[in-house]
Structure 1
């Protein structure tokens, strides 16, 4: 991703054909680096084999810029920008497919004082998602179902401690929540799940002011380890989820993102 803010619409005739306006917007988005994961634009051209339906909301991410991290010493605030993006991922790992609750990530990027591209992690926010069939893999539950605690399984992504948004990579752990599982039950506790996203189509510049870009990406190459720290039900849980899973996994990642340079952030 480039480290300068995108240029606004340039001067031109009072009326322009819609096709020309769309073409100009796409060119502006490309020049500005119109994906929050800069590496996805670099490592994968549009038109790859897999394309998921878009689910990104055409609105700035809800958390605002409160999670923007401090800049490295000597960094130029005018050349660093804080980026906030929200995604609506669909995750298949092992035997289970879920649409995760929206994920919001914040990070900063820009040129380092000594040269080279820098980035600083900010924060990640999301919520648990119910796993269909729950812990036993049975049907849906109701409040009156006395077996509901056995089936009440949820999954919550957590930041895995590694990210490189210039190459489109980041890691996640997945907390598993159920009354019968140990509190620390996690997929990727020892070694987080590493994702390397590839674009599944061109980015779309939705708004110039405020800047808002939508993009879709996916990864079908990651592996998923067995669950850890789940207590005596760990073998049952792994059979239920089909873990570990070396292949057949997929994340589709429809997202929108916005940004501000640090000299325009509230002080």
Structure 2
């Protein structure tokens, strides 16, 4: 969790956010206590992470740890199923903010089912919190939203908001996750055949960003500051690379 470095409350929150005058006395007291964090203008950047406008970036080298490879469905051929480890450098514009995440790693398996159809099994996702530029002390962490289709480029995420003044369950997409339908920015590139390494870029500018939920008394202020919900003007860019092994190449085939 990113700690706040705010040193004072700055200009009054009621002057910055007029809607606070309409908050009940109890909620207004809590909002005033958190104004220095949520209304700040200086970003707290994690070491080695720079935040700026989205730009083209080299695809990150994927992790080569296959420990998250999921168990295979029954009756399939391990030699025809592959476990893919996928690493993406992601920039997210949602509402009023743009966040550059540290590389996100996802693992899944795919291959033919006994009936000839395409099969896939989700493995795991790993991410780290990123500070929100312009909002002191606030960090956001992407989490798997429960839906993924590697064949069509669709998946869902939730975004947990982290700050000591917010309730632990404060999340964008808590009730229904944010659904992404990624479109390729160009063709995939084989960087290496052995080991296999493929790079590609994709984006989605059509998704809807829901409001944050379960943040406690500061929920209205959080959503006002982040510009949520936002039906349009959102963008995710995605510079990725992945590697894979067929299951017969793994040192151990996971079992259920």
**TM class, shorter-chain normalised?**
0.7 to 0.9
- Where 1:78 maps in the other structure, the secondary structure is helix
* Structure 1 counterpart of 2:57: 54
For 2:120 and 2:161, locate their aligned partners in 1 and report how far apart those are by CA, in whole Å. Answer: 30
CA contact (8 A) 2:63 2:86 kept: no
| Count of equivalent residues | 199
* 8 Å Cα contact 1:162/1:170 also seen in 2: yes
1:54-93 correspondence to structure 2 within 5 Å: 54-57=57-60, 59=61, 61-62=62-63, 64-93=65-94
Q: 1:232 — aligned with what?
A: 217
Gaps of 5+ in 1: 1-50, 135-150
* RMSD of aligned Cα (Å): 1.2
Off by >6 Å, runs of 4+ in structure 1: none
Alignment of 1:174 with 2:175, yes or no, is no
Q: Normalised by the size of structure 1, how large is the TM-score?
A: 0.73
Matching residue within 236, 245, 255 for 2:240? 255
Give deviations 1:68-121, integer Å, cap 9, x for gaps: 000000110000000011000000000000111210000000011122100000
Q: 1:52 to 1:205 in 2, by over 3 A?
A: farther
Where structure 2 has 5 or more consecutive residues not aligned to the other structure, the ranges are 1-53
Equivalent residue number for residue 102 of structure 1 = 103
* Change in CA separation of 1:157 and 1:212 when aligned onto 2, cut-off 3 Å: same
SS in 1 for 2:248: helix
- For the pair 1:223 / 2:226, whether they are aligned, the reply is no
Distance of 2:124 and 2:226 partners within structure 1: 28
- Post-superposition offset of 1:62: 2.3
Name the residue aligned to 1:124.
125
Q: Deviations over 1:27-56 (max 9, x none)?
A: xxxxxxxxxxxxxxxxxxxxxxxx951331
